[in-house]
């Protein structure tokens, strides 16, 4: 076991500077048991163009290979699966003249031919209480001030993924909110009825069934 108290860093920032041994990550493959670069030099290296992406992808591949976790796109228990790999794929087939943005695009997922930015949010029907009443759908808005519209899709549950509700809500109504919960009771649903896309919902159901079959 190493009794080192200090160590010389050979990293690009320090170039021979001495640090306390606590400033180094352990590395059993080296002679002294510590990485030759200090923590700051390692962090700086990982932020370099191209290195950050390579490091993140390598870490993800190792993580998914050596643990029981799955990538979010493959896990039906993940909101990402609902949002990106169900809702967006379905809705991109329903709405014409809509350009899909890359995954994780900040602020919005689609842009229509009129230039409106549309952010897609999805939720399953939350249940709870003594009588297991249907409570409604919760959508994470995260005070998104970029989107012009929010397209909210409400599913029945994670297993079946049957779309029950579809709303297109102007951004100025939701932009300032961290989240929006729409309770599944008639009084509340009437409030949001003006934003419902009933005709499109039927198309979404058909597309969703085909998507699941494939």
42's CB contacts (< 8 A; 6+ apart) are 11, 25, 35
Domain identity same for 56 and 99: no
- Reported as a single tens digit per residue, the pLDDT across 187-200 is 999 999 999 988 77
Question: Is the per-residue pLDDT at 44 higher than 90?
Answer: no
Domain identity same for 35 and 118: no
What tokens appear for 191 in the block? 């409030």
What residues pair up with 26 in beta bridges, in sequence order?
34
Tell me, yes or no, whether 171 lies in a domain.
Answer: yes
What residues pair up with 1 in beta bridges, in sequence order?
none
- Reported as a single tens digit per residue, the pLDDT across 71-94 is 444 555 555 565 556 666 666 666
Question: Is the per-residue pLDDT at 1 higher than 50?
Answer: no
Spatial CA neighbour of 94 closest among 200, 212, 209: 200
Distance CA 169, CA 120 (A): 11
What is the pTM for the complete model shown? 0.60
- Reported as a single tens digit per residue, the pLDDT across 94-121 is 677 778 887 678 899 888 878 889 898 8
Domain identity same for 24 and 81: no
What tokens appear for 31 in the block? 């002679």
Q: What is the DSSP letter of 21?
A: G
Domain identity same for 170 and 119: yes
- Helix (H/G/I), strand (E/B), else coil: 66: helix
Q: Say how many domains are in the chain.
A: 2
Tell me, yes or no, whether 21 lies in a domain.
Answer: yes
Q: Which of 66, 85, 106 is the last residue of a domain?
A: 66
Q: Please give the residue range of the domain that contains residue 51.
A: 6-66
Backbone angles phi, psi at 64, to 5 degrees: -70, -25
Tell me, yes or no, whether 1 lies in a domain.
Answer: no
């Amino acid at each position: 076991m190493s009794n080192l108290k200090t160590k010389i860093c050979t990293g690009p920032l320090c170039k021979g500077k001495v640090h306390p041994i606590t400033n180094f990550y352990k590395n059993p493959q080296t002679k002294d048991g510590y990485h030759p670069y200090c923590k700051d030099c390692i962090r700086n290296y990982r932020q370099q163009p191209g290195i950050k992406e390579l490091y993140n992808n390598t870490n993800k591949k190792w993580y998914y290979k050596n643990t029981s976790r799955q990538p979010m796109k493959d896990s039906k228990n993940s909101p990402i699966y609902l949002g990106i790999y169900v809702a967006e794929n379905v809705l991109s087939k329903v709405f014409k003249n809509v350009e899909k943005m890359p995954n994780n695009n900040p602020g919005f997922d689609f842009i229509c031919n009129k230039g409106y930015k549309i952010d897609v949010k999805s939720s399953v029907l939350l249940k709870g209480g003594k009588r297991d009443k249907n409570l409604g759908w919760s959508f994470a808005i995260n005070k998104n001030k970029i989107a012009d519209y929010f397209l909210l899709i409400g599913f029945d549950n994670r297993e079946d993924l049957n779309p029950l509700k579809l709303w297109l809500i102007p951004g100025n109504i939701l932009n300032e909110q961290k989240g929006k919960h729409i309770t599944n009771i008639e009084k509340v649903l009437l409030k949001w009825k003006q934003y419902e896309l009933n005709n499109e919902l039927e198309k979404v159901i058909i597309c969703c069934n085909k998507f699941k079959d494939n």
